[in-house]
Structure 1
Amino acid sequence: MHASRWAQVWMMLGLLWFLLAIAFAPTNKIYQQGLTLFLWLPAMVFAWSARDRLKAVWQSQRWVCLMILLLATWGGISLLWTNVQDPSREAKRLLYIGVFLLFFPVFADGQANRVIRLLKWGGYGLALSALIAIIKFYGVEHKDWSARLAGLGQLSHPILGAYVIGVAAVWMLHWVPRDRWVQVVWALAIGLLGLFVVLSQSRGAALALLLSVVAMPVWCRDRRTVLTAVGAIVAAVAVFFAMQSLMLARGVSYRPQIFMEALRMIGEHPWTGLGLGGDYRVFTEGQFFDHSHNLFTHVAIELGLPGVLLWAAVWFGVLWQAWKARHTDLGKGVLGIWVFSFLAMQFDAANLTGTPRAEWFITWLPIALSSVLVWARAKPGACDKVAVLPNQ
């Protein structure tokens, strides 16, 4: 049933909704309702008919699957001592995450290129949202060019918006279209995505994007990638000198002090943490901060050392799966997404089990994509070959 045309169209809408409605949906409530209709529902409806696909993921990636189950179990147990008013909401969010991870192997149905195609479309759509945001922010609203660009919809936060747009730029860079004219559109899209990150003035996103591109030759190993990495370094130097005053004006934004205070808080509840979804504030330098600005310390504060060890096991297990598939297009893309996400979550991201939002693009999306690597490795030709630009 999951392989029928109408089922595939339904799930295509779900993935595109996840990728694009975060920018274009009028409200967060509508975004969440759309996910329920187009993503959660079909994943649950078609899970049984796709049980052989799910079994293949379990057999190939048993370590990652087991660590995810243990992490969810530990998170559920921690609801016994969490300080949130409604623990059932946190339990429901665990279910959302599970269904999201379930969706990708059901939708892919053994065809990795299907997921790549949808991510490409999502990248073009997010590039369009970046263009509209730039025109709206600086043109319609007449904001000064020194102001930090805010995106559309749920990407209106400069930092989180830059992370979503930045990770889209990374996956687009890994999948060059074959047609020459489409390559022009592809290049313009990447330019818009990169410009958005720069204008957002999110140094964490900019650094993650730069280092991800510079690292690409490690797994891509072709001349085009090397030239792209060199070009990124040259562009980064030019941007730094052009925006030096803006980049340095905020200093280190209390990140070292927040990190040290987060370690102290972890030491107060090292084994149990505060519980899943635990409410806390980080107080340092006379100020309160909503979270620890680092995903690993955030997980340790909520779930203790057992939780952060399980999360690290999941996260680095995904890296290993992607590395084994580095000869495939999807494997290369997941490696790039993983590197960007790992760097990004060191500076600002601190939400692991909240409702679907911008942070999911650098936490659960890489993990979900890794499940499709089962078929990318089995059939390397299933992914569209990365085109080589003319004269290369």
Structure 2
Amino acid sequence: MLYEKNWARAWLGFGLVWFVAAIALAPSNKIYQQGLIVFFWLPTLIFTWSARAVFMDAWRRQPALWGALLLLMVWSGLTLVWSTAAEPGREVKRLVYILVFLLAFPLLAQAGLARIRHLLQIGGGLLALAALISIVRFYGVQGHPLLFRLEGIGEISHPILGAYVVGAAVLLLLYQVPHQRAAQLGWVLALACLGAFVMLSQSRGAGLALLITVVLAPLWFRDRHSRLIAVLAMLATSFAFYLVYDVITHRGASHRPEIFQVVLQMIAERPWTGLGLGAEYEVNVAGRLFDHSHNMFTHVAIELGLPGMLLWIAVWLFTLGEIVRARHTVLGKILLALWVYSTMAMQFDAASLSGTPRAEWFVSWLTVGLAMLLPWGRAEKGACGKISGST
């Protein structure tokens, strides 16, 4: 079959690395999007016919997840009938992008989960390089004081969303310890760069989501490595509060409770239909305007109504179900950490579900896509004891 050729697997594999790393390292967002088309969407479409048996198998193995996803896509498209979106055609194209993105993962799974984990390690390592460049550029070259919020390079320039991307990269690397000493040194340095980026971004949502995840992770990793990480994370957080308590707390709750109250009123005005896919809205809190609800679930409810929100919750919970069923595999354990982290991130920000590939996809569609790999690797061994990326 065409999709089984080595060059075909290399093409799709490079597309996955591009998705993870080029969000920061691509010269511009336009080039990032074009690269995704060339390296991810195009090969998926080219291999679709020869891989039709794989897609049928994907449906057979995960009918609930794929069914909920397709219902969400159909409902989202239907809401365009009453949406005030400026370009409905563009919204349809974005839905197609999401679907093709997810279709790529059953194809990637044919190369084996160990290969996928290695590709994610490469992507995470490249994001660590981007984090280092961002820190040197912002504080060294541009000369900003150390207490200024870090703005990264590329599409991780937003302090909040950039921190969510980098936090996801932390989890892709944290529980995959290389065997070789030299590689272990690189692993430590990469995590140090990523961790420093999250702290210097001063994104409390990303920091809290990451802290909760690593503290809970020993519940399913059940090894000394994850317990040590949890203890170190709590110690580092306590030390940070001691040193820079005023910096952490001076922004208060950032209007989140007030935004939530206003958003609930907005949802109540159009609970069943929502405003429609792609409709723009503003949240008015004491005269200050916010362009989204700062919560993924309420954002979906505003756009797609309660039916859309329930369908997204179904997709997210079925994703969790697939991950739990694969919890004995290395990738399953890592994805459970990513799912917890992403769920926490959705509560604080990341309010974009149907936009073009961007930072928010790292805490939404990436997790869903990676869960679609799992049926082909549930027999993978080596999830017990010390987690290694060299399997």
- Short-chain TM bin: over 0.9
Secondary structure of 2:92's counterpart equals helix
Paired position in structure 2 for 1:327? 328
**Does the 8 Å CA contact 1:70/1:310 hold for their aligned counterparts?**
yes
> Using the alignment, how far apart are the partners of 1:20 and 1:143 within structure 2?
25
Kindly tell me: are residues 247 and 49 of structure 1, through their superposed partners in 2, closer, same or farther at Cα, counting changes over 3 Å?
same
Q: For residue 56 of structure 1, report the CA deviation from its aligned partner.
A: 2.3
Deviates more, 1:12-21 or 1:274-283: 12-21
Equivalent residue pairs, number? 387
Aligned to 2:214: 213
Per the alignment, residue 171 of structure 1 pairs with 172
DSSP-derived class of the 2:284 partner:
strand
Residue matched to 1:20: 21
State the alpha-carbon separation in 1 of the partners of residues 111 and 182 from structure 2. Answer: 30
Question: Could you tell me which residue of structure 2 aligns to residue 298 of structure 1?
Answer: 299
TM superposition shift of 1:387: 3.9
Change (3 A) 1:95 1:118: same
Per-residue CA shift, 1:186-231, capped at 9, x if unaligned?
Answer: 1111111111000000000000011110010111011221111111
Is the contact made by 1:174 and 1:386 (CA closer than 8 Å) also made in structure 2?
no
Query: Which aligned pairs between 1:254-293 and structure 2 lie closer than 5 A?
Result: 254-293=255-294
CA offsets 1:332-385 (integer angstroms, 9 cap, x no match):
0110111111001110111000001111111100000001110121x213x787
8 Å contact from structure 2 (residues 221, 384) kept in 1: no
Which segments of 5 or more consecutive residues in structure 1 lack a partner in the other structure?
Answer: none
Which residue of the partner structure matches residue 77 of structure 2? 76
Decide whether the 8 Å contact of 1:331 with 1:376 is kept in 2.
Answer: no
Deviation at 1:148, TM superposition (A): 0.3
Aligned ranges 1:52-67 → 2 under 5 Å: 52-67=53-68
Change (3 A) 1:359 1:335: same
Aligned to 2:344: 343
CA deviation after TM superposition for structure 1 residue 122, in Å: 0.5
Q: How far 1:234 sits from its partner (Å)?
A: 0.6
Alignment CA distance shift 1:366-1:168 (3 Å): same
Alignment of 1:244-263 (within 5 A): 244-263=245-264
CA contact (8 A) 1:338 1:366 kept: yes
Deviates more, 1:44-53 or 1:126-135: 44-53
Is 1:380 the equivalent of 2:380? yes
- Name the residue aligned to 1:40: 41
2:73/2:95 contact within 8 Å kept: yes
Q: What is the SS of the residue equivalent to 1:144?
A: coil
Question: 2:150 aligned with 1:152, yes or no?
Answer: no
Name the TM-score, length of structure 1 as normaliser.
0.96
| Range moving further from structure 2, 143-152 or 7-16 | 7-16
**Counterpart position of 2:317:** 316
Secondary structure of 2:289 counterpart: strand
Check whether the contact 1:178–1:386 (CA below 8 A) recurs between aligned residues.
no
* Paired residues of 1:18 and 1:35 also in contact (CA < 8 A): yes
Residue in structure 1 matched with residue 227 of structure 2 by the alignment: 226
CA distance in 1, matches of 2:120, 2:243: 32
What is the alpha-carbon distance in structure 1 between the residues aligned to residue 94 and residue 384 of structure 2? Answer: 37
Aligned-pair distance for 1:181? 2.2
Distance (Å, rounded) in 2 between the aligned partners of 1:243 and 1:48? 57
The Cα shift of 1:232 comes to 0.7
Q: 1:185 to 1:22 in 2, by over 3 A?
A: same
Segments of 5+ residues of structure 2 without an aligned counterpart are none
CA contact (8 A) 2:225 2:386 kept: no
After the TM superposition, list the runs of 4 or more consecutive aligned residues in structure 1 that deviate by more than 3 angstroms: 383-389
Partner of 2:7: 6
SS in 1 for 2:307: helix
Q: What secondary structure sits across from 1:243 in the alignment?
A: helix
In 1: Cα distance, 2:320 partner to 2:11 partner: 30
In structure 1, give the amino acid aligned to 2:193: L
**For residues 270-290 of structure 1, what are the alpha-carbon distances to aligned partners after superposition, in whole Å with 9 as ceiling and x for unaligned?**
000000111100001211101
- 1:51 equivalent to 2:49? Answer no
Question: Following the alignment from structure 1 to structure 2, what is the Cα–Cα distance between the partners of residues 376 and 275?
Answer: 38
8 Å CA contact retained: 2:175, 2:387: no
Counterpart of 1:359 in structure 2 is 360
SS at match of 2:221: coil
Deviation of the 1:386 alpha carbon: 6.8
Structure 1 pair 386/102, CA: closer, same or farther in 2 (3 Å)?
farther
Query: Aligned partners of 1:340, 1:249: CA distance in 2, in Å?
Result: 24
3-state SS of paired residue (1:134): helix
Separation in structure 1 between the aligned mates of residue 36 and residue 349 of structure 2, nearest angstrom: 25
Please say if residues 178 and 387 of structure 1, whose CA atoms lie closer than 8 Å, have aligned partners that are also in contact.
no
Cα distance change, pair 14–350 in 1 and its aligned pair in 2 (3 A) = same
Most deviating of 46-55 and 183-192: 46-55
Equivalent residues of 1:177, 1:386 under 8 A apart:
no
- Asked if the contact 1:165/1:197 (under 8 Å) is kept, the reply is yes
Aligned equivalent of 2:116:
115
> Secondary structure at 2:217's aligned position in 1?
helix
User: Structure 1's 128 and 110: CA in aligned 2 closer, same or farther, altered over 3 A?
Assistant: closer
**RMSD between aligned residues:** 1.3
Report the counterpart of residue 134 of structure 2 in structure 1.
Answer: 133
The one-letter amino acid paired with 2:53 is: D
TM-aligned CA deviation for residue 110 of structure 1:
5.4
CA distance in 2, matches of 1:131, 1:242: 23
Instruction: Please tell me whether the aligned partners of residues 277 and 302 of structure 1 are also in contact (alpha carbons under 8 angstroms).
Output: yes
The question of whether the paired residues in 2 share the 8 Å contact of 1:127 and 1:192 is answered with yes
1:112: how far off? Answer: 1.2
